[in-house]
Amino acid sequence: MSVNVVVDLRNTLGESPCWDPKRKMFLWVDIMEKKIFRLHTLNDELEEVQLNQSAGCLSQTNRGRTILGLQHGIHFFDWDTGILESVVDPESHLEENRFNDGKCDPSGRFWAGTTDQTGVNGNGSLYVVHSTLQITKKVESVSTSNGLA
């Protein structure tokens, strides 16, 4: 097997890989550096966006929008305009918590979980964001939601 490095980018904590098959793009986050990335695989063009809060996860919706689980809630990000649109922050009262991992399911719902800074105390929850943008808590007392696919 042969491996080629497409982008020599050394993230501090690169997470939440996401493939957009329609646009042939690969997306991911760097949690610690508060950045999101999008790689256009047809021409190897890399886009990098610096945010003002930790980015735990991202996914592409059925409508082609990028949805993010950030330190302060769920947001949409428009890559063309650079606009970050807040959707909901279900744990605004929990200063130590942030979204950690999440993905869209085949129905277009975004499943994302929260964690605190240590990730072992059971202070997080697992949520689902419906296509109507209503959010529902599905599981409580979660230490760290991780590996959602």
Does residue 130 fall inside a structural domain?
Answer: yes
Does residue 9 fall inside a structural domain?
Answer: no
DSSP conformation class of 144: B
Q: What percent of the chain has pLDDT over 70?
A: 100
Cβ density class 26-36: b for 16+ within 10 Å, e for less: bbbbbbebbbb
Q: How many domains is the chain built from?
A: 1
DSSP for 87-115, please give it. EE-TTTT-TT-EEEEEEE-TTSPEEEEEE
pLDDT for 149 beyond 80: no
* Local confidence band at 4 (pLDDT 50, 70, 90 cut-offs): confident
Token couple for 46: 């890399």
Query: What is the CATH number for 114?
Result: 2.120.10.30
pTM: 0.93
* Local confidence band at 64 (pLDDT 50, 70, 90 cut-offs): confident
Residue 90 sits in which domain range? 14-142
pLDDT for 39 beyond 80: yes
Q: Tell me, what's the pLDDT at 141?
A: 96
Q: Tell me, what's the pLDDT at 115?
A: 96
Identify the CA nearest to 56 among candidates 38, 43, 69, 44: 69
pLDDT for 16 beyond 90: yes
Does residue 136 fall inside a structural domain?
Answer: yes
Q: Tell me, what's the pLDDT at 6?
A: 86
* 40 burial via Cβ count (<10 Å: 0-12, 13-18, 19+): middle
Does residue 8 fall inside a structural domain?
Answer: no
